[in-house]
Chains A and B, each alone.
Chain A
Amino acid sequence: MIERVRKLALEYALDLTEEETASIARQTESYERLFRVLHEIDLSGITPLLKLDLKP
């Protein structure tokens, strides 16, 4: 993950310290853990919601 953050920092010309790079990497990994539940349940056949087109 640190390498991915470094690559991004280079592409966007972000002036990140090593500590900041590591912090962003840790943050991203914790989000990946949160998102795991979205990939663990069977959502096949469900069309992604593209607009909150609510009806009364």
Chain B
Amino acid sequence: MALEIERSTIGALAPLIQHKKLSPVELTEFYLERIKQLNPQLNAYVLVAEERARADAALAQKEIENGRYRGPLHGIPFSIKDNLATRGIRTAAGSPILADWIPENDATAVERLKQAGAILLGKTNMHEWALGGTTINPFFGTTRNPWDTERIAGGSSGGSAAAVAADLCLGSLGTDSAQSVRNPASMCGVVGLKPTYGRVSQYGTVAGTGAFSCNHTGVLAKNVGDCSLILQAIAGHDSQDPLSANEPVANYSASIGKEVKGLKAGILRGYFDELIAAEVRENFAVAVERLKSLGMQFEDASIPHMDLIPAIKVATSRVENAAAHEPYLRTRSKDYSRQTLFSYVSALLTPAATYVQAQRARRLVCDEFNLLLKRFDVLVLPTIPFTVPMIEDCRQGYVEIDGKKIKRQDERGGLESLCCIPFNVTGLPAISVCCGYSKAGTPIGLQIAAGAFREDLLFQVAAAYERVTSWRETRPMLAL
């Protein structure tokens, strides 16, 4: 049974659990054992809640035996990024400042997964305070990419993506305020969804792990179908989150398998074009051809003020993050890495007028995207401009693009985030799916975005692409 579980998905295993051919206890034990064997080389988990997981699995098994099957997530083991509160389980957000914090409540998204019967295996590693795209964490260690352990897993939800890619869980929750679900999903070859702003409650997300007006609770999964099942469980209004949206939740599974013939897609062009590496460009072009062969129509797309997006994003994030960190900067400044401390101190010097001006420009950009999406059903672009960087290169502060060494970070933030941030500024939903591999054997991501609350369209297009490609059949080779 071991091999089938390792390569399997929620969609495949749930019917086995429902019909009592596979027990949640057996499944949980499989993942706990695999974590024991592989986590030392990947550092995907920072905490494994072994006893709790066993107890929850036994309870799920009992419920199912007694005929109380809750649905497709019942008995499914999952992991949670360490900035989403978990009742009774330490939530440190990648920082020693919170290293002793044991929340009294679950984040709403975590609570909803538990209500659906899912089994929490543990907490996954992340970039310190989610402020970066590498998951090179000086306090909790570096998460390594399962496809090549000398390379980064991406970030800030790097532990979640590595855990899903290495079959250390069947799904994970992360957060995304600039790239943080889609970037690691792309780098680890899994599916990563940043839903519409407000679609999933942010109640229980640690303050200061992403600007509140750009942050989203997102999903990392093995395939598009699993991603839709997880979103179904966690989406919807939450009275505990004043930023949560009160819009009806669609039946996402109904989008899987729908044809895409006749859908119009815009290939989003902008300030990131010049950075896109040849290998990424080639794989992206092949992915577009594949979707064209399914009957989708493509043309180039952009908005008049696209170039303002990095400034809007950075001004917004710096001010909102600095406000959240202000008390810790006064009392715990020694418990930040120097790089993170410098970033927050510098952010305190951002003028209030700049923040307000950024929100004016943001409304302009949001209106322009809404107009653009009257012409197109979806927008497509690469998730990351370049292939997965080496850990050592990132430590030295650069990435290699087409043989040239380029500074990884400038005033716009990490270069890896530049294709993702338009959808954090606008709050529009976006998904990343694997669209091939680099010559070095690491995954490359295709990003698809849609209008507000049109996650159903994302699933429709992403699942159609997944059906006609075989990228998912290739798996990372990890030595047990």
Contacts and interface: CB of A to CB of B under 8 A. Distances in A.
B440 interface: no
Interface in B273-321: 305, 307-308, 310-312, 314-315, 318
Nearest to B366: A49
B361 A35 contact: no
B279 to A, nearest CB: 29
Interface string A42-56: 010011111111111
B243 A51 contact: yes
Contact of B350 (A12, A24, A31, A37): A31
B411 A33 contact: yes
A34 B310 contact: yes
B346 A24 contact: yes
Contact of A48 (B318, B350, B359): B359
Contact of B197 (A12, A28, A38, A52): A52
Interface string B448-480: 000111100000000000000000000000000
Contacts of B346: 5, 24, 27-28, 31
A49 to B, nearest CB: 4
Given A8-B348, A51-B243, A54-B197, A14 B333 contact: yes
B314 A34 contact: yes
Interface stretch (B1-9, B49-57, B257-265, B336-344): B336-344
Nearest to B333: A14
B312 A43 contact: no
A17 B42 CA distance: 35
Contacts of B356: 48
Q: Majority SS of interface residues in chain B?
A: helix
Interface residues of A, number: 35
Pick the most buried of B243, B305, B333: most chain A CB atoms within 10 A of its CB: B333
Nearest to B312: A38
B359 A14 contact: no
Given A12-B333, A20-B338, A54-B427, A31 B314 contact: yes
A4 B345 CA distance: 11
A54 B198 contact: yes
Pick the most buried of A31, A33, A56: most chain B CB atoms within 10 A of its CB: A31
B453 A56 contact: yes
B245 A54 contact: yes
Nearest to A1: B349
B308 A41 contact: yes
Nearest to A48: B359
A9 B213 CA distance: 28
Nearest to A36: B311
Contacts of A13: 330, 333
B360 A48 contact: yes
Contacts of A41: 305, 308, 361
Contacts of A28: 346, 349
Interface string A8-26: 1100111100001001100
A15 B335 CA distance: 12
A38 B315 contact: yes
Nearest to B454: A56
Nearest to B316: A49
Contacts of A46: 360-361, 363-364
Pick the most buried of A12, A38, A43, A50: most chain B CB atoms within 10 A of its CB: A38
Given A20-B342, A38-B312, A55-B452, A4 B349 contact: yes
A34 B315 CA distance: 9
B363 A56 contact: no
A26 to B, nearest CB: 9
A14 B361 contact: no
Nearest to A38: B357
B36 interface: no
Nearest to A4: B349
Contacts of B243: 51-52
Interface of B: 196-198, 213, 243, 245, 247, 305, 307-308, 310-312, 314-315, 318, 329-330, 333-334, 338, 341-343, 345-346, 348-350, 354, 356-364, 366, 410-412, 426-428, 451-454
8 contacts: A24-B346, A27-B411, A31-B350, A33-B411, A41-B305, A46-B361, A49-B362, A56-B452
What 6 pairs between A and B have smallest CB-CB spacing? A48-B359, A54-B452, A52-B427, A43-B360, A49-B363, A30-B411
Given A12-B333, A20-B338, A49-B360, 6 more contacts: A8-B349, A14-B341, A31-B411, A41-B305, A52-B213, A53-B245
